[in-house]
Amino acid sequence: MKIFSTVLLFAYAAMAGSLGHAQSYPDRPVRIIIPFPPGGATDTLARVVSLKMGKILGQSIVVENRAGATGAIGSGAIAKASPDGYSLLLATASTHSIAPAINSRLPYDAARDFTPIAQLGSAAAILLVPNNSPAKTVQNLVDIARKDPGRLNYGSSGKGSYSHLVAAVFQGKTDTVMTHIPYKGTAAVIPDMIGGSIDFMFESIPVALPRVREGQLRALGVTSPKRTPLAPEFPAIAETVPGFESVIWYGLYGPKGLPQDIVQRINAAANQALDDPEVKAQFTRLGIDPAGGTPQQFAQIVVADSAKWKRIAADLKVTLD
- Each residue of 136-162: pLDDT tens digit? 999 999 999 999 999 999 999 888 888
Would you say 249 and 111 are in contact if contact means Cβ atoms under 8 Å apart? no
Query: How confident is the model over 250-267, as pLDDT tens digits?
Result: 999 999 999 999 999 999
For 285-298, write each residue's pLDDT tens digit. Answer: 888 899 999 999 99
What range defines the domain where residue 184 resides? 124-239
Q: How many domains does the chain have?
A: 2
* 189 plus 232 within the same structural domain: yes
Q: CATH number, domain at 71?
A: 3.40.190.150
- Asked whether residue 6 falls in the same domain as residue 109, the answer is yes
Spatial contact of 163 and 157, defined as CB atoms under 8 Å apart: yes
pLDDT of 63 strictly over 60: yes
Mean pLDDT of 44-59: 95
Which carries the bigger pLDDT value, residue 6 or residue 49? 49
Distances (CA, A) of 64 to 68, 202, 312: 13, 25, 31
Tell me, yes or no, whether 63 lies in a domain.
yes
Does 235 lie in the same domain as 150? Answer: yes
Identify whether the C-beta of residue 21 lies closer than 8 Å to the C-beta of residue 261: yes
Point out the domain boundary residue: 239, 269, 298.
Answer: 239
The pLDDT value recorded for residue 73 is 96
Checking if the pLDDT of 76 tops 80, the result is yes
In whole angstroms, what is the distance from residue 98 CA to residue 136 CA? 30
Least confident of 137-146, 163-172, 185-194, 249-258: 185-194
Residue 3 banded pLDDT, cuts 50, 70, 90: very low
My answer on whether 19 and 80 are in the same domain is yes
What is the rounded CA–CA span in Å between residue 210 and residue 172?
29
> Do residues 115 and 170 share a domain?
no
- pLDDT over 80 at 40, yes or no: no
pLDDT reported for residue 13: 46
Residue 321 inside a domain? The answer is: no
pLDDT at 272: 98
Is there a domain that residue 28 lies in?
yes
DSSP annotation string for 231-282: STTS-BGGGTSTT---EEEEEEEEETT--HHHHHHHHHHHHHHHTSHHHHHH
pLDDT score of 22: 56
Q: Is the pLDDT of residue 231 over 80?
A: yes
172 falls within a domain: yes
Average the pLDDT over 170-197 and give the result. 93
Domain finish residue from 239, 268, 296: 239
Is there a single domain that holds both residue 62 and residue 155?
no
Residue 245's pLDDT band (boundaries 50, 70, 90)?
Answer: very high
- Provide the 3-class DSSP secondary structure of residue 65: strand
How big is the chain by its Cα radius of gyration, in Å?
Answer: 21
% of the chain at pLDDT higher than 90: 76
Instruction: Let me know whether 56 and 141 are in one domain.
Output: no
Q: Which of 205, 221, 239 delimits the end of a domain?
A: 239
Q: Using pLDDT thresholds of 50, 70 and 90, give the confidence band for residue 21.
A: low
Binned at pLDDT 50, 70 and 90, residue 320 comes out as: confident
| 283 and 189 inside one domain | no
CA distances from 220 to 129, 202, 205, 230 (A): 7, 10, 12, 15
Judgement on whether residues 68 and 160 belong to the same structural domain of the protein: no
- Residue 209: give its domain's CATH number: 3.40.190.10
